[in-house]
Structure 1
Amino acid sequence: MEGVITTIKQNCRRCYTCVRDCPAKAIRIEDGQASVVAERCISCGNCTMVCSQGAKAYRSGVEGTLALLDQGDVAALVAPSFPAGFPLPAGQVIGALRKLGFTYVIEVAYGADLVNQACHDYLAEHPTGLHIGSACPAVVQYVRKYHPQLTSRIIPVVSPMVAAGLAVKEIYGEHVRCVFIGPCVAKKSEMLDPEVVGVIDEVLTLAELDKVLAARGIDLAIAPVDDFDPPYAGLGRIYPIPGGMLESAGIGDGILDPRLIVVSGKDETIETLAELPEDVGDATLLVEALMCKGCYAGPGVDSAEPGTLRRRRVAEFAAHSLNRQAEGSLAAYQPREPLDLSRRFEPNSQRTEGPTEEEIREILGRTNKFFPEDELNCGACGYPTCRAKAIAVWEGMAEEAMCLPFIIDQSERVCNELHVPWNNLRDVHRHLMNSEKLASMGQMAAGVAHELNNPLSSILLYAHILQRKLSDREDLDHDLNLVKEESERCKKIIGNLLDFARQSRVRIENVSVEQLVSSAADGAACNLPPGPEHEIDIVVDVTPGLRADLDQDQMTQVLVNLIKNGVEAMEGRSGTVRVSAHKVPDLDRVHFSVTDQGSGIASGAKDKVFQPFFTTKSIGKGTGLGLPISYGIVKMHNGNIWFDSEPDAGTTFHVEIPMTRAGDERSPR
């Protein structure tokens, strides 16, 4: 069975926010994915509001509405909370609905007035006992599913939406299709209720109305101002405000009447319903409950405005309309012989008998909760207590892995047993990601370099020939030099690409580390910026006599790349680039480091420095392949490369590789 609300699985990120905020606990977690259990769901839409990843969505009414408009004779039944969704004159919304093609634009508040009349009649016949208002479909579903013993206490009268639909069909004809427009997602479920099915043909939220207007190219901001069609509403316009039902119906003596209970919002409503007695004897208790903090705060309102501002617009529109009716500029509400607005509500219990105490303790024990003090009740899993989560596990609605403290403890234990710090595991993950990128980029680089190398050599050859033949043309000298220099730069890039692609072989031999570092420093010194005003010293610090098994040419390339980067990081300032190499104490490994006194690596670039083609240098000064090539060479030596960097304090790159290799790993002479 598919419900009104569904999960977009690719967007779900295991945050359990939807579980935490679902009043019916209708979210099942399976393999880390949250899904809505339709049988348990009350269609309140709260999960669609709290999910920051957009992983929850309600059934669209856009396509159905557009199809109905193409058929003609369609009535828009506009909820009295509609001003909450649009910060502009309410009359423009009505005008825009007419431009959309709605034949009639009717106030659902008129249906609320009819419901008030029907409730008055019912309470006159049943003056005592517990009575729960039926205006909020999410509350009605919650009572039927989770407090089924109170179902008979719901006032057996249809909601204002259904009452308005029945009135429209009686006044304008049974052939008229009805589209409800408002902030309530639960209306999409109520529309399908067998007791009232067929009265409402489609439900459109206020957020969806924006999409329908956009689809028809209607700009709400410039829509003409208009009024609703008859029949006209009265005090039913204040229904969206908590207490509005009782106030508009004139039931009770206001907020001081002990017989009245007015609650709004899921927490307050759930708590109140849980405490309601099934039988109040000869007393009278009237409950008006809204699952939202007022209908103006429903999930179908696409607005970041505070609820108080939306509430104010609803109240202002109601007051303005009532004032116009009092002045005579708008027709007044006309009581009429009431329609048959009665309906039945049947229990639909979704409660289970629940696990035994022994089963709860056994489930808690699987997450190391053996004593009451082990139950943190942190709520990270989405359930208020550890016991509530254990019951959900027993019901098949939750997984043991949802317990965050337990998972953290287990992860730390595994790390300790493996003697691997948590940060190291993160580094391993990053290295694996880089290795995958390098492998795929290497394959691509080899093909690209091969295809470009030959035509580029021809361009460079003919550039030299032209420069010799046209040596007397000074006006062309600059252009020809530019062609030659840019071609040589491209050749250099292709050479780097080929180096990058060939990182699959190393020639291991026993090498003097001191000689290796000195050679690399001398090679990099050729790239020092000219001029005495910016002196950069390359200082070498190597343990005398240190030798290591490595590929001399490739490790020289690594050190030259790192030293050149250090020199360029100085950005023309005077300073020192220090290159060191020492044996790691108590380990058969050699550690190289290159430290500069530059400006450091920006925090936003730290995760990208080993990615191919990423560079912070200006165009023409870097290919973004030096560090990826170095990374690949170090990995082929079974080593590690990393860096430390502080803003304005410089950067140190570290390379650590095995110092000795087994005989069969060395290359033959």
Structure 2
Amino acid sequence: MDSSLLQSELVFTREAHCRDCYRCLKSCPVKAIKIENGQAYILEERCIDCNICIQNCAQGAISFKSDKNKVYELLASGKKVVLSVAASYSSICADWERNRFPSALRRLGFSFVSETSVAANIVALKTLEYVAEHQDRSHISSVCPTVVNYVEKYRPDLIKNLIPIASPYIVHARWLRKKLGEDIAVVYVGACVAKKMEIKRECYRGLIDVAISFAELREMFDERNILLKMCAESEFDETPVGKSRLLPLVGSLSEIAGKDISFTELNTVAVTGFQDIKNSLDMVATSKGFLAELLFCYKGCINGPGIHMKNNIFERRNELIEYVNSKSTLPAEKDPLLSANIDITRDFYLDKAIPKPEYSESKIREVLRKTGEPDSKRRPNCYSCGYPTCRDKAIAVLEGMAETEMCIPYMRRLAENKASLLIETTPNGFVVLSEKFEILTMNVAFKKMFLASNSLLKKPISTLFDPEGFHILASGEEEIYEETVKHEKYDIVCHQIYYKLKEEKQYVGVFVNVTKNVTTESKLDDIRNTTMIQAKELLQHQMKMSQELAKLLGENAAQSEVMINNIIKYTEARYSQNVEPTNTNLLWDTNTSK
């Protein structure tokens, strides 16, 4: 792969599992995946860390980097290790499991366990305050790191609309360090994998040591043989205020801050999923006083790629709401963070925008011509390559992000053309019949063999020869039938192979001309027979002479007769069977006449 294009530090591809199906590319909202030699590579500079490719890879070829070992190292370091837990954990746990969850975390070695939603109230209140104070423009919530990445890279014109308030898990980390001391180690666990990269931003550096997913946490439980059913019920070390535990759901900021978003609300929209986010950003660009609460994952953080459970998304939502309703909270006005003088601000990158290269129409058409689609009216725009249009894919080819061979219709046509060429140029006859044994197509070799022309198309094959072989195939259960037939009318001998095309209800015949082989074998048989006759005559003549000599030799007569008889047997075996007789049949003892 081109070394100038760096692969994602977060997401990687297992090349042995990648099956060039382009499913990851189809699902990637920003096409941050480079295809090279049929392999998918996620590019760091283009990736927005949504990890949708992981969720859509049917082969399990794409995965995110695991940081379990970093957590193990922290737990073994002797430091006080504190865990911030996203409230979305409740969406993948039954009620009895949720009550034991804090104890299981402590058994892993965490000395302080707290819910991230402890910091949700202050973030929600400050977000709405900021919007109210800046009515001169519309606003985008910056809670979701993937949304922020998308704006920074693909909508840099809207960076000014991002609300400069940090996500609750960042504010929570600042609160934990203020409360427990700067010498602690902070670990975050949640459904969001993008936070693994977000904690490395300069403005957040040193706040959170490691961010892991619920999937990684589950593996740690298994590796340490920690079973929830064996843990005692307990509570977290801090209690959130108000409706803060609703944080993972879409529209939660307004809900937590006490602002009801009804379907008639004009100035606030809460959406998830890329297409709705994209549309809402267009509205932000053209309006004032408008707030877009955006979470990239469909239905919010309860559907993040770091969740190992595959239960129904609406079941997860209900589990979370049941958890919120069943747990006690503090009144919102008693939120300790409101008076703690905690830094809740953040900044944004201004230099991450992905440039849009421009290519001339002639270059784009040149790429399209290679796949046989230069005419816009004939382009299938089938999306099979992962790009929405043939033109988009052509531009990706020019960028070095895609390959011409990714075009499925083009490759199909290429394969069909090669197959047609193979059939037309093969020396074997090839014919396809309908279920009524009418000729549908035939190649050049077949036409030459049976002196046929296209005028016989749709005519019965019996017009040319007896179709008994095809009838045997049609009436039997065998998929293939073979026979060798001498066609006196055409002076040829063919080895004929018939097979069925079940779905098409057609029959295929392949005719191999073996006339030359049969003629050659016949000639060889004649030569063998003539040679054997001549050899016999010669040997019989020599035998008579030998017998006369044997009488003169006296005591060696019997021995001579044995020798002569063996010569005759040897010759007959050699010329009649065309094989060497075994040594047992050829050896004789000249001294004992055996």
Structures share fold, TM-score greater than 0.5:
yes
Give yes or no for the alignment of 1:340 onto 2:340: no
C-alpha separation between the residues in 1 aligned to 2:251 and 2:296? Answer: 13
| Match of residue 276, structure 1, among 264, 274, 283 | 283
Corresponding residue for 1:628? none
**Equivalent residue for 1:290, pick from 295, 318, 329:** 295
Q: Once the two structures are superposed, what CA deviation does each residue of 1:121-177 show, in whole Å capped at 9, x if it has no partner? A: 433432331111011000100000000111121111111111111111111111111
Residue 3 of structure 1 aligns to a residue whose secondary structure is: coil
- Match of 1:9, SS state, is coil
Q: Superposed, which structure 2 residues align to 1:412-427 within 5 Å?
A: 412-419=416-423
Whether 2:197 is the aligned partner of 1:220: answer no
RMSD of equivalent CA atoms = 3.4
SS at structure 1 position matched to 2:87? coil
- Is 2:20 the partner of 1:14? yes
The reply to whether residue 135 of structure 1 matches residue 163 of structure 2 is no
- Structure 1 CA distance for aligned equivalents of residues 163 and 193 of structure 2: 22
**Match in the other structure for 1:623:** none
Q: Per-residue deviation at 1:581?
A: 4.8
What is the CA-CA distance between 1:666 and the residue it aligns to?
A: 7.7
TM-score (normalised: structure 2): 0.70
Alignment partners' CA distance in 1, 2:194 and 2:75: 23
Aligned to 1:74: 81
> Is there any run of 5+ residues in structure 2 with no aligned partner, and where?
1-5, 429-476, 503-509, 529-577, 579-594
Partner of 2:245: 237
Answer yes or no: is 1:102 the counterpart of 2:110: yes
What TM-score, normalized by structure 1, do the two folds share? 0.63
Q: 1:74 to 1:370 in 2, by over 3 A?
A: same
Q: Distance in 1 between matches of 2:361 and 2:279?
A: 24
The 1:175–1:660 alpha-carbon spacing in structure 2 relative to 1, beyond 3 Å, is same
The equivalences for 1:358-369 within 5 A come to 358-369=362-373
Q: Is the Cα contact below 8 Å between 1:232 and 1:332 reproduced in 2?
A: no
Q: Which consecutive residues of structure 1, in runs of 5 or more, have no partner in the other structure?
A: 425-569, 571-577, 593-640, 647-653
Partners in 2 of 1:107 and 1:98 — Cα distance?
A: 14
> Do the aligned partners of 1:23 and 1:270 also contact (CA within 8 Å) in 2?
no
The answer to whether the 8 Å contact 1:128/1:285 transfers is no
Distance in 2 (CA, whole Å) between partners of 1:127 and 1:227 is 42
Please say if residues 187 and 209 of structure 2, whose CA atoms lie closer than 8 Å, have aligned partners that are also in contact. yes
Aligned to 1:582: 485
Tell me if structure 2 keeps the 8 A contact 1:138–1:186. Answer: yes
Per the alignment, residue 169 of structure 1 pairs with 177
| CA offset digits 1:359-396 (Å, max 9, x no partner) | 32232222111222212111101111112212212221
Aligned to 1:561: none
Secondary structure of 1:582's partner? strand
What is the match of residue 394 of structure 1? 398
| Deviations 1:69-111 (CA, angstroms, capped at 9, x unpaired) | 2124111110111112334531222221111111111110012
Distance 2:293 2:88 in 1: 17
Q: Which residue of 1 aligns with 2:407?
A: 403
**Does the CA contact (< 8 Å) of 1:591 and 1:655 recur in 2?**
yes
State how 1:34-183 maps to structure 2 within 5 Å: 34-72=40-78, 73-88=80-95, 89-183=97-191
Output the CA distance in 1 between the equivalents of 2:486 and 2:252: 80
Task: Tell me the equivalent position of 1:542.
Answer: none
Q: CA deviation at 1:18?
A: 0.5
Say yes or no: does 1:377 pair with 2:381.
yes
* Letter paired with 1:182: G
> Aligned pair 1:354/2:358, yes or no?
yes
TM-aligned CA distance change 1:52 to 1:582, over 3 Å:
same
Cα separation, 2, equivalents of 1:421 and 1:19:
39
**Residue type matched to 1:57 in 2?**
S
Say if 2:11 and 2:63, in contact at 8 Å, map to a contact too. yes
Alignment CA distance shift 1:403-1:174 (3 Å):
same
Q: Percent identity?
A: 32
Quote the Cα distance in structure 2 between the aligned partners of 1:580 and 1:359. Answer: 55
| Aligned-residue offset at 1:415 | 1.6
Larger Rg: 2
Rate the CA distance shift 1:124–1:164 in 2: closer, same or farther, 3 A: same
The 8 Å contact of residues 86 and 116 in structure 2, kept in 1 or not, is answered as yes
Kindly provide the CA deviation profile for residues 199-254 of structure 1, in whole angstroms up to 9, marking residues without a partner as x: 11111111111101111111134332221112534322111111112221234754
Matched residue SS, 2:90: helix
Structure 2 matches for 1:579-618, cutoff 5 A? 581-583=484-486, 590-591=494-495
**Per-residue deviation, residues 405-441 of structure 1 (Å, max 9, x unmatched):** 111112111221222699x9xxxxxxxxxxxxxxxxx
| Amino acid paired to 1:352 | K
Q: How does 1:471-620 map onto structure 2 within 5 Å? A: 581-583=484-486, 590-591=494-495
When residues 331 and 370 of structure 1 are mapped into structure 2, their CA distance, relative to the original with a 3 A threshold, is: closer
Amino acid at match of 1:195: C
Larger RCO of the pair (alpha carbons < 8 Å, separation 6+):
2
Which residue identity lines up with residue 354 of structure 2 in the other structure? Answer: Q
Q: Show CA shifts across 1:557-594 (max 9, x none).
A: xxxxxxxxxxxxx9xxxxxxx996534796965548xx
Deviation of 1:334 after TM superposition, in Å, equals 3.8
Structure 2 counterpart of 1:582, one-letter code: V
Q: Give 1:302-317 correspondences, 5 Å limit.
A: 302-317=308-323
* 2:213 aligned residue: 205
**What's the CA shift for 1:332?**
6.7
Structure 2: distance between partners of 1:279 and 1:266: 19
Q: Secondary structure at the match of 1:234?
A: coil
Q: Go from structure 1 to structure 2 and tell me whether the alpha carbon gap of 1:135 and 1:655 turns closer, same or farther (over 3 Å shift).
A: same
CA contact (8 A) 1:130 1:284 kept: yes
Closer/same/farther in 2, CA of residues 642 and 35 from structure 1, 3 Å limit: farther
The structure-2 alpha-carbon separation of the partners of 1:354 and 1:658, relative to structure 1 and needing over 3 Å to count, comes to same
Provide closer, same or farther for how the CA distance between residues 374 and 335 of structure 1 changes in structure 2, counting only shifts above 3 A. Answer: same
Judged with a 3 Å threshold, the aligned counterparts in structure 2 of structure 1 residues 343 and 81 are, in CA distance, closer, same or farther, namely: same
User: Which residue identity does 2:359 align to in structure 1?
Assistant: P
CA contact (8 A) 2:84 2:187 kept: yes
Residues 645, 118 of structure 1: CA spacing in aligned structure 2 closer, same or farther, 3 A cutoff? closer
> Is the 1:84–1:301 Cα contact (8 Å) retained in structure 2?
no
* Distance in 2 (alpha carbons) for counterparts of 1:398 and 1:417: 28
Work out the CA distance in 2 between the residues paired with 1:118 and 1:370: 54
SS in 2 for 1:60: coil
Letter in 2 for 1:362: E
CA contact (8 A) 2:239 2:329 kept: no
Q: State the secondary structure of the residue aligned to 1:96.
A: helix
Q: How many Å apart are 1:115 and its aligned residue?
A: 1.4
Partner residue of 1:26?
32
Q: Is the 8 A contact 1:96 1:220 kept in 2?
A: yes
Instruction: Determine if contact 1:325/1:331 at 8 Å carries over to the other structure.
Output: no
The question of whether the paired residues in 1 share the 8 Å contact of 2:138 and 2:291 is answered with yes
Q: Which amino acid aligns with 1:241?
A: L
Does the C-alpha gap of structure 1 residues 122 and 331 become closer, same or farther in structure 2, counting only changes over 3 Å?
A: closer
How far, CA to CA, are the matches of 1:231 and 1:580 in structure 2? 85
Distance (Å, rounded) in 2 between the aligned partners of 1:36 and 1:583: 62
CA contact 2:116–2:168 (8 Å) conserved in 1? yes
